């Protein structure tokens, strides 16, 4: 890596093997840095539902409504407040059988899906079991997603690590080039959170006393920075 660009004698950039560049633009040293941190999910978002097939629309709707009401009552009994439960979707669709003679109506399927937000992740399995148990054979466990509600502290830690890494590289380059490192004159940041993580909770045939396990893993948060330092 040459130092001509740093001294303002060339107009092009010279990339280095480690992603570091001595640049002509405003004369400075441009470096990249990466920082990682971890955060533990503190919210489980569970989607449970009811699926009921009956000969008529009215029967399918009524059957699904009754099972959904039982599921909601079970959620209340498990300590989930009303504002933590909401309807995610509702649908009633005809079901057909297709043969060489054409299609034949089999009935209608009503689907009601609830989204439940559980702040105590260690209780998620218990809540799932209560809801699914109340819905009986019509119950469906659609998904379990684990979220970090406030990633700001983890992002700050990753950001600090990224900036420290960038400054270390810039300081070494300045020393090698025989110049004094100045203050940052431009910073670009990219945050790559893993985001909500789907969790594969399976409803398996098991002892009635067995609780569905929901065990959260940590979520990685990564920050990339591109920093341009002035030189003197």
Residue 177 lies in a domain: yes
Do 179 and 224 sit in the same domain of this protein? yes
Do 202 and 141 sit in the same domain of this protein? no
How much is the pLDDT for 63? 97
Do 128 and 56 sit in the same domain of this protein? yes
How much is the pLDDT for 161? 98
pLDDT in tens, the chain (232 residues): 333 334 333 334 444 444 555 544 557 999 999 999 999 999 999 999 999 999 999 999 999 999 999 999 999 999 999 999 999 999 999 999 998 888 999 999 999 999 999 999 999 999 999 999 999 999 999 999 999 999 999 999 999 999 999 999 999 999 999 999 999 999 999 998 766 666 554 444 334 456 788 877 888 999 999 999 999 8
How far apart (Å, rounded) are the C-alpha atoms in residues 49 and 34?
42
Tokens standing for 169? 């590289």
Q: Give the end of a domain, one of 112, 127, 147.
A: 147
How much is the pLDDT for 59? 98
Do 56 and 92 sit in the same domain of this protein? yes
Q: Give the end of a domain, one of 99, 130, 147.
A: 147
Residue 4 lies in a domain: no
Do 54 and 118 sit in the same domain of this protein? yes
Residue 212 lies in a domain: no
Number of domains in the chain: 2
User: Which residue matches tokens 């209780």?
Assistant: 123
Handedness of CA 37, 43, 47, 48 (dihedral sign): positive
CA atoms within 13 A on the CB side of 104: 5
pTM of the model: 0.71
Residue 214 lies in a domain: no
How far apart (Å, rounded) are the C-alpha atoms in residues 81 and 83?
6
Tell which residue, 88, 72, 202, has the closest CA to residue 130: 72
Query: How would you write 89-156 as a 3-class SS string?
Result: EEEEEEEEEEECCEEEEEEEEEEEEEEEEECCHHHHHHHHHHHHHHHHHHEEEEEEEEECCCCHHHHH
Strand intervals (E) in 169-210: 181-193, 197-199
Residue 8 lies in a domain: no
Do 92 and 176 sit in the same domain of this protein? no
Task: Please report, for the domain that includes residue 186, its CATH number.
Answer: 3.30.110.170
Q: Which residues pair with 223 in a beta bridge?
A: 35, 191
How far apart (Å, rounded) are the C-alpha atoms in residues 166 and 108?
61
How far apart (Å, rounded) are the C-alpha atoms in residues 97 and 133?
30
Tell which residue, 9, 14, 19, 44, has the closest CA to residue 162: 19
Q: Residue 52's domain spans which residues?
A: 43-147
Do 124 and 82 sit in the same domain of this protein? yes
Do 19 and 59 sit in the same domain of this protein? no
**Residue 173 and residue 31 in contact, taking contact as beta carbons nearer than 8 Å:** yes
User: Which residue matches tokens 């070494």?
Assistant: 172
């Amino acid at each position: 890596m040459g130092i001509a660009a740093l001294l303002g004698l060339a107009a092009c950039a010279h990339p280095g093997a480690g992603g570091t560049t001595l640049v002509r633009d405003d004369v400075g040293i441009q470096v990249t840095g990466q920082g990682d941190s971890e955060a533990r999910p503190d919210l489980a978002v569970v989607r449970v539902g009811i699926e009921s097939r009956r000969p008529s629309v009215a029967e399918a709707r009524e059957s699904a409504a009754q099972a959904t009401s039982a599921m909601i009552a079970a959620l209340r009994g498990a300590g989930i407040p009303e504002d933590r439960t909401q309807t995610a979707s509702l649908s009633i669709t005809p079901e057909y059988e297709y043969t060489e003679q054409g299609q034949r109506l089999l009935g209608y399927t009503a689907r009601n899906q609830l989204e439940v937000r559980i702040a105590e992740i260690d209780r998620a399995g218990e809540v799932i079991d209560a809801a699914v148990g109340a819905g009986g054979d019509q119950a469906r466990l659609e998904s379990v997603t684990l979220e970090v509600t406030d990633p700001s502290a983890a992002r700050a830690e990753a950001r600090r690590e990224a900036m420290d890494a960038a400054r270390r590289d810039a300081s070494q380059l300045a020393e090698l080039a025989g110049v004094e490192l100045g203050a940052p004159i431009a910073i670009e940041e990219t945050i790559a959170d893993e985001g909500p993580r789907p969790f594969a909770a399976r409803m398996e045939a098991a002892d009635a006393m067995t609780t569905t396990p929901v065990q959260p893993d940590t979520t990685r948060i990564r920050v990339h920075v591109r920093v341009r330092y002035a030189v003197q």
